[in-house]
A and B are shown apart, each in its own frame.
Chain A
């Protein structure tokens, strides 16, 4: 997994609550057995008409947001299905940071395991960011060690992140390798139950 320490990028605002993983990556794309290549299907049913032409009523298709790498969403972002294809699609499309007032648990975990930084801010803060990103070209810089988000006008916010998740992201750990250093304890646990 790639580490993430600091990131600066253009914001894409998605002002909807309860964006579920069925919307992030619809089921017709879950049949692939690879991890890569899901970006083209991100928000597919919102982005495209039945015949595959892009819809101009969905903001991600607005050229203004081309190259965006920070997604700011609404409450309960990533709810529903546990499909890790959702963060795979978000990442493959080019997003490195997702900011929302609240996240669904499994989605939050899945982000961290893939090196996407999920940031929880208050809904006032996210609403303000969404507004600015809708009106202008809005960029943010995110600093994980400091746990801050800043914009160019001097606005800034701090965020919480569990220390284990923070370390995982900062180091780009292979979590399985970490766990395997506890193999003796797992053996002992199994023996005690046998």
Chain B
């Protein structure tokens, strides 16, 4: 019998264009996604060297980072406007399909790829954005690249890449009630740190993973980069196949059955070896809240902020101290004593329909506490439409949330959705870096359910007790 292989090895072998010793492989890229922020200099580079886009039909562009999430017909910020116009001009010049700000398919690049069926198992997918790892949920090899590489892919539809080392992240057991895939990935990063995935492509395996929906899987793969891995993926199974059926860019009829069989074949073979393995037990995972300025600085909601005095290594101590000063928290302060001023439900981590449904379940019939600013920003215009058809917008608005148009929004605050200096936000996004949501802003990463419950209570609460107490 042939040597058992991981899905990572299989996809790699299928995409090698050229291979020689002491050199990275030249890898073919099936899908290149583009947004307005990391592409202008790449197109400019093409023009300067008189080069063309090799495969515009394998390229797809949208606007997400900069876009206003209300009154989008008037873009007040002239520099943002210029960047969006530049993308539009570049797509016209090079014949690249674009979902611009007025297009019904517009949305966060990592939300619309799967939604349109552009993201498929076995594909190599790149984008000038580190959260391209999201697409790995489908069993695609998907990773973020820099602008020089964007230009390279535009010109050659390929990239020089070292064969990745493989890392298995095995998750046993099952997640408890009220515990989400967001809590799981935060718990993994809290346990193993922000660089354990560095140099690896990770595959998430185990029953706990394969019982998750596609949207929950995307949340996990999305944050692979927060563990240092450029890519994280999950072998395709029937849940993957069911999700893709009927999607716009997925073949129909007999061609679908053929494709589905190929996809399922890609799954890692029994007995395949990885270069490294880590494990976690899903039963032990509780709802998580980050307290610091990187995603590994995270504890269960019933826990408390650490004490720098407990660290022996002076650099670790220093890092914790700096984080506590930035976050304005006391050593050993209980997480549930932290009051918040903003809530952001959105981003490529948690802005899909199921995320909004779960958050809406929590807020239904209740009111946002005090003068908290609470924002729901759907990941795409089609998520927004679907949510409105179910009346989720009404639930949110009645509870005192703002209901916005699709975009990255307060995940990185490049548009007008900014957390003011010194204020605190419960956010469903993926990065709690200093200044991420606004200069001096303090971010706590949580699941949509936890963010919704925090909006109602005004401080962090254990969503499991919250739903029990109100009979939800």
Contacts and interface: CB of A to CB of B under 8 A. Distances in A.
Per DSSP, chain B at the interface is: loop
Given A17-B319, A31-B80, A164 B23 contact: yes
A155 interface: no
Contacts of B66: 31
A104 interface: yes
A186 interface: yes
Contacts of B26: 179, 182, 185-186
B210 interface: no
Nearest to B26: A182
Contact of A33 (B41, B51, B130, B149): B41
A28 B412 CA distance: 9
Given A45-B434, A162-B162, A164-B160, A79 B194 contact: yes
Interface residues of A, number: 50
Contacts of B49: 174, 176
A82 B23 contact: no
B421 interface: yes
Contact of A82 (B38, B194, B228, B439): B38
Interface in B186-233: 194-195, 198-199, 225, 228, 230
B147 interface: yes
A1 B434 CA distance: 32
Nearest to B37: A30
Contact of B158 (A27, A163, A179): A179
Most buried by B among A17, A18, A105, A164: A105
A29 to B, nearest CB: 10
Given A113-B149, A175-B152, A179-B26, A76 B195 contact: yes
B448 interface: no
B155 A26 contact: no
A46 B453 CA distance: 33
Contacts of B435: 22-23, 26, 45
Given A35-B44, A182-B18, A82 B129 contact: yes
Given A33-B83, A164-B22, A185-B26, A176 B130 contact: no
Given A31-B79, A114-B148, A164-B160, A82 B17 contact: no
Contacts, number: 160
Nearest to B81: A31
Contact of A113 (B148, B230, B421, B431): B148
B76 interface: no
Contacts of A87: 146
Nearest to A178: B160
Given A30-B37, A45-B439, A80 B431 contact: yes
Interface string A72-99: 0011100111111001000000000000
A17 B292 CA distance: 14
Nearest to B414: A27
Contacts of B265: none
A105 to B, nearest CB: 5
B145 A82 contact: yes
Contacts of B294: 18, 20, 79
Contacts of A106: 130, 144-146, 230
A164 B249 CA distance: 37
Interface in A1-53: 15-18, 20, 22-23, 26-28, 30-35, 45, 50
Interface in A137-194: 162-164, 174-176, 179-180, 182-183, 185-186, 189-190
A27 B412 contact: yes
Contact of B146 (A22, A45, A79, A113): A113
A175 B195 contact: no
B83 A102 contact: no
B228 A104 contact: yes
Contact of B315 (A74, A80, A113): A74
A163 B294 CA distance: 33
Contacts of B256: none
Contacts of B440: 50
11 contacts: A18-B194, A27-B412, A31-B66, A32-B83, A82-B144, A84-B38, A105-B228, A162-B162, A164-B24, A179-B26, A186-B17
Given A50-B439, A113-B146, A190-B28, 16 more contacts: A15-B315, A16-B319, A16-B322, A17-B319, A30-B65, A31-B77, A50-B440, A79-B294, A82-B144, A84-B147, A102-B195, A102-B198, A106-B130, A164-B24, A176-B155, A189-B28
